Amino acid sequence: MIRSHLLLAAALSAFMSSSHAAEGHAEAAKTKLSMCIGCHGIPGYRTSYPDVYPVPKLGGQHSEYIVSALTAYRSGERSHPTMRGIAEGLSEQDMADIAAYYSAGAPAPAATPAANDKAQVCAACHGPDGNSPAPAFPRIAGQHQDYIYQALQDYKAGRRKNPIMAAQVESLSKRDMEALAVWFSSQPGLFVKR
């Protein structure tokens, strides 16, 4: 089963890297970040709508993943009214620049073994410690525990659409999701970047 996940991860990574994308410039993003730092630049900031949970840490995230997430918000594939409103006003270049800014300072993936069998399944895409080496998959190491838990719940309930994640969370219990959120949030990785 893990081998099939690795093959799927490699295929998706190759597909994502072959698509044409604008080249991002971190320096250019500094004039475009005002709409981002009001939430993502405040340590411990929590969103109040549509659900209350910490906004995700973006510092050190793969730039390709950030562009993919912004594109999904813009199209409505990912549902969050504030993020959709922001993403709809961004050009492809804006997205690439913002992603380049936030991805700067990314941690090097570690060879830490995963904590349990459930985390081993996650490791196929997200890396053994949550610092995914593949840009198609987000880094989750160091992310807020509540955010990871909320994301897992959203995938299970169908509020977030991703066929890989939907299949992975289908058999997870609430306790499994809580344990995964605790473990991945405790790993060194993502950080708040202002």
Contact 150, 51 (CB under 8 A): yes
User: Does some domain include residue 134?
Assistant: yes
In terms of phi and psi (left: phi > 0; alpha: psi -120 to 50; beta: otherwise), the region of 106 is beta
3 state SS of 132: coil
User: Does some domain include residue 190?
Assistant: no
Closest CA to 64 of 27, 23, 26: 23
Supply the CATH number for residue 128's domain: 1.10.760.10
Identity of the amino acid at 38: G
Number of domains in the chain: 1
Closest CA to 140 of 153, 158, 127, 150: 127
Domain extent for 140: 24-185
User: Does some domain include residue 4?
Assistant: no
Rounded to whole angstroms, the Cα distance separating 192 from 49 reads 20
User: Does some domain include residue 192?
Assistant: no
Q: Per residue of the chain (194 residues), what is the pLDDT tens digit?
A: 444 444 444 444 444 444 456 899 999 999 999 999 888 988 888 887 767 788 999 999 999 999 999 999 999 998 888 899 999 999 999 999 999 999 988 766 655 555 567 788 898 899 988 999 899 999 999 999 999 999 999 999 999 999 999 999 999 999 999 999 999 999 999 999 88
CB atoms within 10 A of CB 79: 14
User: Does some domain include residue 6?
Assistant: no
